């Protein structure tokens, strides 16, 4: 019986000596999640604020038939494309609140402050004189990586963008 109690004490000692979780990573994730939420709400409100992105920020083009594998978010070409997209379509964030999960470093598998976002958007092609309004819902998974200044350096999104655009424009 003494051996059992001794073993129990050793196990409790080992379990009790576990390193405390690193709250700085949780705080970084929370801060970065606020940045992602701001970016999403800016898109919905058609008030894009590129200051949340680093000067060298990149967005991967993950949709079918993309001519380029990535674009520089801060480029005038991208900003003009975004403006044209917002002028043509209306966006409503359906998932409220959005679901944010911490991302992990691919090498260490430990949380690194990056943010993963899951949500749904209703995208509407407004009515014209000759057409009725048409809407569709797209479910998205997006990931955001940040630099040491809290700016987004990488954004990539996965959803059936091509299918949605074909539906809305046909």
Single pTM value for the model? 0.83
User: Which region holds residue 46: left if phi is over 0, alpha if psi is between -120 and 50, else beta?
Assistant: left
**Is residue 29 a part of any domain in this protein?**
yes
Confidence of residue 2 (pLDDT cuts 50, 70, 90): low
Q: Domain count of the chain?
A: 1
**Residues 129-141: tens digit of each pLDDT:** 999 999 999 999 9
Q: Which domain holds residue 146?
A: 21-169
The verdict on residue 2 lying in a domain is no
Residue 4 forms part of a structural domain = no
Q: Examine residue 13 and state whether it is found in any structural domain, yes or no.
A: no
* 129 lies in some domain: yes
Is 126:133 a contact under the CB 8 Å cutoff? Answer: yes
CATH code of the domain covering residue 26: 3.10.450.50
Q: H or E element: which one contains 11?
A: helix 2-16
pLDDT computed for residue 3 by the predictor? 60
């Amino acid at each position: 019986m003494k051996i059992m109690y001794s073993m129990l004490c050793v196990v409790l000692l080992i379990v009790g000596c576990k390193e405390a979780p690193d709250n700085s990573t949780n705080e970084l994730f929370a801060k970065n999640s606020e940045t992602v939420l701001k970016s999403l709400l800016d898109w919905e409100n058609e008030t894009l604020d590129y200051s949340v992105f680093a000067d060298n920020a990149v967005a991967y083009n993950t949709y079918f038939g993309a001519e380029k594998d990535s674009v520089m978010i801060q480029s005038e070409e991208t900003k003009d494309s975004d403006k044209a997209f917002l002028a043509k379509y209306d966006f409503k964030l359906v998932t409220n609140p959005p679901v944010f999960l911490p991302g992990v470093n691919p090498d260490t598998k430990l949380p690194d402050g990056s943010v993963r976002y899951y949500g749904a958007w209703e995208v509407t092609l407004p009515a014209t004189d000759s057409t009725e309004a048409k809407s569709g819902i797209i479910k998205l998974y997006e990931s955001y990586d940040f630099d040491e200044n809290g700016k987004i350096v990488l954004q990539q999104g996965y959803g059936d963008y091509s299918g949605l655009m074909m539906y809305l424009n046909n």
